[in-house]
């Protein structure tokens, strides 16, 4: 592993479950000498990516907040999606959360959300939080729209996760289950991530036809009547239109 990768691996230690590390603890976790890890901590601290807290503990530093501000201002996907997200919040007839997600490291990350009405739930998809690729409509529509080559590679690395999500135990089963989603052009999930919640998602594509992310409605999953079915069909239509608008803006 290169020195730069070793430095970056220290950042990967920080999580919600464990947000504070000493040099010694980090050295043990990544299998490096304490002296080497101390130098890496010094580099990250100078860059503001981590900072001393108390008792030899370090936490993530203010440079992470600065980068978040910068990406909110400059990210092409965020900027391209803002008009569509605004449109979606006004085009739904019930309380909903609009999600903008992107594909990232075999997982899916929410990068923005907007509220329509007064939903009584908060989806687990929150900005910056990594979510599984095999469950939840924002994730499954991205997975379904990937090339067969990409899906095969993902299955080789995540086969147990895919099987546990009911997508298939082998390539033939996975391809069949995802083909239905891909052909429909949207994904609908019920309670796969949050109990009592329905997600409806459409893919955002790049010029090559590969998905970069998805845009979604998340709504309460009350008993679906005929009127609700008509409403869901309308949400699918506007989501597809919004996704196409974002794709056009990205590829213009």
DSSP string, 171-207: HHHHHHHHHHHHHHT-EEEESSSSTTEEEEEEEEE-T
Same domain flag for 106 and 152? yes
Distance (Å, whole) CA 141 – CA 17: 29
- Of 66, 91, 110, the residue that ends a domain is 66
Same domain flag for 154 and 176? yes
Same domain flag for 54 and 86? no
Same domain flag for 237 and 123? yes
Beta strands in 54-162 (DSSP E): 58-60, 96-104, 107-116, 130-131
CATH number at residue 13: 1.10.10.10
Question: Which carries the bigger pLDDT value, residue 226 or residue 136?
Answer: 136
CA 156 to mean position of chain CA atoms: 21
What pLDDT is attached to residue 226? 47
Q: What is the pLDDT of residues 44-78, one digit of tens each?
A: 999 999 999 999 999 999 999 999 999 999 999 99
- Domain hosting residue 12, numbered range: 3-66
What pLDDT is attached to residue 5? 85
Is the pLDDT score of 10 beyond 60?
yes
Q: What is the pLDDT of residues 151-171, one digit of tens each?
A: 999 999 999 999 999 999 999
Same domain flag for 15 and 86? no
């Amino acid at each position: 592993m290169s020195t730069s990768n070793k430095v970056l691996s220290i950042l990967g230690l920080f999580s919600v479950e464990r947000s504070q590390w000493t040099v010694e603890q980090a050295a043990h976790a990544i299998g490096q000498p304490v002296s080497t890890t101390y130098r890496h901590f010094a580099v990250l601290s100078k860059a503001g990516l981590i900072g001393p807290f108390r008792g030899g503990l370090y936490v993530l530093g203010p440079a992470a907040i600065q980068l978040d501000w910068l990406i909110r201002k400059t990210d092409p996907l965020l900027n391209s999606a803002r008009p569509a997200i605004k449109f979606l919040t006004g085009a739904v007839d019930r309380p909903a959360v609009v999600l903008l997600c992107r594909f990232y490291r075999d997982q899916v990350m929410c990068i923005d959300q907007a509220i329509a009405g007064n939903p009584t739930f908060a989806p687990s998809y929150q900005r910056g939080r990594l979510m599984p690729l095999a469950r939840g409509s924002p994730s499954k529509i991205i997975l379904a729209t990937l090339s067969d080559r990409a899906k095969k590679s993902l299955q080789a690395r995540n086969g147990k996760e895919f099987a546990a999500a009911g997508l298939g135990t082998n390539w033939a089963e996975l391809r069949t289950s995802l083909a239905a989603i891909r052909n429909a052009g949207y994904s609908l999930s019920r309670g796969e991530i949050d109990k009592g919640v329905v997600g409806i998602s459409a893919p955002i594509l790049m010029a090559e036809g590969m998905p970069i992310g998805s845009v979604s409605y998340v709504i309460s999953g009350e008993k679906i009547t005929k009127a609700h079915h008509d409403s869901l069909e309308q949400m699918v239509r506007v989501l597809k239109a919004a996704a196409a608008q974002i794709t056009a803006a990205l590829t213009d």
